Amino acid sequence: MMPTRVYEKHNFESSLSGLKISSCGKQIPTSPVPLRSLAQRRGIGIGTAVKMQAFYSDAQYRKVLAHEFNVLTPENALKFGRLSLKRDRYSFKDADALIAFAEKHQMQVHGHTLVWYRNLPEWLTQGRWSRAELIAILQQHIDKVVSRYRGRIAVWDVVNEAIENDGSLRDSIWLRGIGPEYIAMAFRWAHKADPQALLLYNDYRSEEMNRKSEAVYQLVRTLKQQGIPIHAVGWQMHKGIKEPPDFQQIKANMQRLNNLGVEVQITEMDVGIYSGQGTYTEKLAAQADIYRDVMTICLESESCSAFITWGLADHHSWRPAFFGHPDAPLLFDKRYQPKPAYEALIDVLHK
Ligand code: G3I
């Protein structure tokens, strides 16, 4: 049975005057009704990925986070390489802090991620392991982390980015050392550790109809046929205005996943504007259109249960460091002013 998730009523519901932040005496206008209230009324979660440095050091960041979102994804704090610097030694300090914050503000936690080819501990990548040893390492990791937060982390990205763009399985320590069955094993172990958690396969460039999304579809279909507890597919949706997504294809893909009996979540959305055409204002409008259209598809679908952005404000985005150029891909600018993309989401959630 599919676990149920409730986007709890939160204590900002009655805050009809908009967000008031007293930083240097400045007030920041957002919607009179925050995103999370509107999303909750529409029956979906709305979230963002959280960076530790901003979380610890910036009160304004924490305020916008709690006010606008009801889902929180630790951007890096739950990755294997962050949790375990030495074998059998774990530090949950950052993850604990985020989860306590989420609970205080009635936010759901989206756990990211249990099995990935990146961000692994050095003790693991530098070691030489037999298949049995690798299986034991992965099983112990999943069991330790999922059990610790049993009942507190509602959703897990169990396996992240296991498929290449051409549809083949991605080379990784797990594929090489264990074989393709590591994917099914991971879902079984996660389910055993928390039978109530919603378990996702999460990937990028897999929302339109292409070789990769076909491979994701076939993977999910096979896992379901084998009785493996997989409940949802995560579409990361790292997009850009230069190549807007094909919304008909996204709808068709959403429908076929829905027909398999799995949910879809938008797990890491951002929309780069760096290489797009037009003035800055036009680029922000094009960006808003993409956010709006993806949210519309999510709301129209029976199976889309959450919409999560990969970072809160533009200066938190991973993109500049990764691509080597500036960008402004998120809902808020670096002064936490809501952008046209924010207004577009408010607008579409209101309708
Ligand atoms: O915190 C250190 C800092 O102390 C140091 O000075 C700096 C020097 O490089 O590195 C900082 O850590 C970086 C960290 O991001 C903090 O932002 C790491 O090097 C860097 O590897 C890490 O990158 C993260 C990346 O995943 C790899 O784990 C990004 O933040 C994060 O946004 C990105 O997220 C991924 C998702 O997990 C999966 N989907 C794609 C998405 C974007 O790549």
For the cut 90, the answer to whether the pLDDT of residue 12 exceeds it is no
Q: How far apart are CA 120 and CA 113, in angstroms?
A: 11
Percent of the chain with pLDDT over 70: 92
Looking at per-residue confidence, does 31 or 65 come out higher? 65
pLDDT value of position 7: 42
Q: Can you give the chain as a three-state secondary structure string?
A: CCCCCCCCCCCCCCCCCCCCCCECCECCCCCCCCHHHHHHHCCCEEEEEECHHHHHHCHHHHHHHHHHCCEEEECCCCCHHHHCCECCECCCHHHHHHHHHHHHCCCEEEEEEEECCCCCCHHHHCCCCCHHHHHHHHHHHHHHHHHHCCCCCCEEEEEECCECCCCCECCCHHHHHCCCCHHHHHHHHHHHHCCCCEEEEEECCCCCCCHHHHHHHHHHHHHHHCCCCCCEEEECCEEECCCCCCHHHHHHHHHHHHHCCCEEEEEEEEEECCCCCCCHHHHHHHHHHHHHHHHHHHHHCCCEEEEEECCCEHHHCCHHHHHCCCCCCCCECCCCCECHHHHHHHHHHHC
For the cut 60, the answer to whether the pLDDT of residue 330 exceeds it is yes
For the cut 60, the answer to whether the pLDDT of residue 5 exceeds it is no
Q: How confident is the model at residue 351 (pLDDT cuts 50, 70, 90)?
A: confident
Question: Which residues, listed in sequence order, are joined to residue 332 by a DSSP beta bridge?
Answer: 313, 338
What is the pTM for the complete model shown?
A: 0.93
> Which residue, among 165, 171, 260, has the nearest Cα to 208 in the 3D structure?
165
pLDDT value of position 95: 98
For the cut 50, the answer to whether the pLDDT of residue 341 exceeds it is yes
C-alpha of residue 318 to centroid of ligand 1, in Å:
7
pLDDT value of position 31: 75
pLDDT tens per residue across span 233-271:
999 999 999 999 999 999 999 999 999 999 999 999 999
pLDDT tens per residue across span 135-168:
999 999 999 999 999 999 999 999 999 999 999 9
Overall average pLDDT of the 157-182 stretch? 98
pLDDT tens per residue across span 83-139:
999 999 999 999 999 999 999 999 999 999 999 999 999 999 999 999 999 999 999
Atom of ligand 1 nearest to the CA of 79: 28
Cβ–Cβ under 8 Å, residues 325 and 268? no
Q: How far apart are CA 56 and CA 311, in angstroms?
A: 15
C-alpha of residue 235 to centroid of ligand 1, in Å:
19
For the cut 90, the answer to whether the pLDDT of residue 24 exceeds it is no
Return the residue matching tokens 């400045």.
26
- Structure token pair of residue 135: 């299986």
Q: How far apart are CA 287 and CA 330, in angstroms?
A: 9
For the cut 70, the answer to whether the pLDDT of residue 3 exceeds it is no
Atom of ligand 1 nearest to the CA of 236: 39
> Can you give the length of the chain in residues?
351
pLDDT value of position 32: 84
Strand-strand pairing, 232-235 and 198-203 = parallel
CB under 6 Å to ligand 1: residues?
75-76, 79, 118-119, 160, 236, 268, 318, 322
Mean pLDDT of the chain: 92
C-alpha of residue 136 to centroid of ligand 1, in Å:
27
> Which residue, among 67, 75, 117, 124, has the nearest Cα to 95 in the 3D structure?
75
- By the 10 Å C-beta count (0-12 exposed, 13-18 middle, 19+ buried), 42 is classed as middle
C-alpha of residue 72 to centroid of ligand 1, in Å:
17
Domain segments of the chain: what residues? Answer: 13-350
C-alpha of residue 248 to centroid of ligand 1, in Å:
32
Atom of ligand 1 nearest to the CA of 317: 32
**Domain covering 13-350: architecture:** Alpha-Beta Barrel (3.20)
Q: How confident is the model at residue 16 (pLDDT cuts 50, 70, 90)?
A: very low
pLDDT value of position 29: 61
How far is C-alpha 328 from the chain's CA centre?
A: 18
Catalytic residues: 161, 268
Is-cis flag, bond preceding 4, omega within 30? no
Overall average pLDDT of the 64-88 stretch? 98
Question: Which residues, listed in sequence order, are joined to residue 258 by a DSSP beta bridge?
Answer: none
For the cut 50, the answer to whether the pLDDT of residue 21 exceeds it is no
Question: Which residues, listed in sequence order, are joined to residue 200 by a DSSP beta bridge?
Answer: 157, 232
Residue nearest to atom 30 of ligand 1 (CA): 318
Out of 8-17, 143-152, 177-186, least confident range: 8-17
> Which residue, among 17, 54, 7, 46, has the nearest Cα to 336 in the 3D structure?
54
pLDDT tens per residue across span 276-321:
899 999 999 999 999 999 999 999 998 999 999 999 999 999 999 9
pLDDT value of position 23: 36
Candidate from 75, 112, 118 with most ligand 1 atoms within 8 A of CB, to mutate: 75
Candidate from 78, 235, 316, 318 with most ligand 1 atoms within 8 A of CB, to mutate: 318
For the cut 80, the answer to whether the pLDDT of residue 33 exceeds it is yes
pLDDT value of position 288: 98
Q: How far apart are CA 97 and CA 199, in angstroms?
A: 23
Q: How far apart are CA 268 and CA 76, in angstroms?
A: 13
Q: How far apart are CA 288 and CA 331, in angstroms?
A: 9
For the cut 60, the answer to whether the pLDDT of residue 8 exceeds it is no
Cβ–Cβ under 8 Å, residues 97 and 154? no
Question: Which residues, listed in sequence order, are joined to residue 304 by a DSSP beta bridge?
Answer: 264
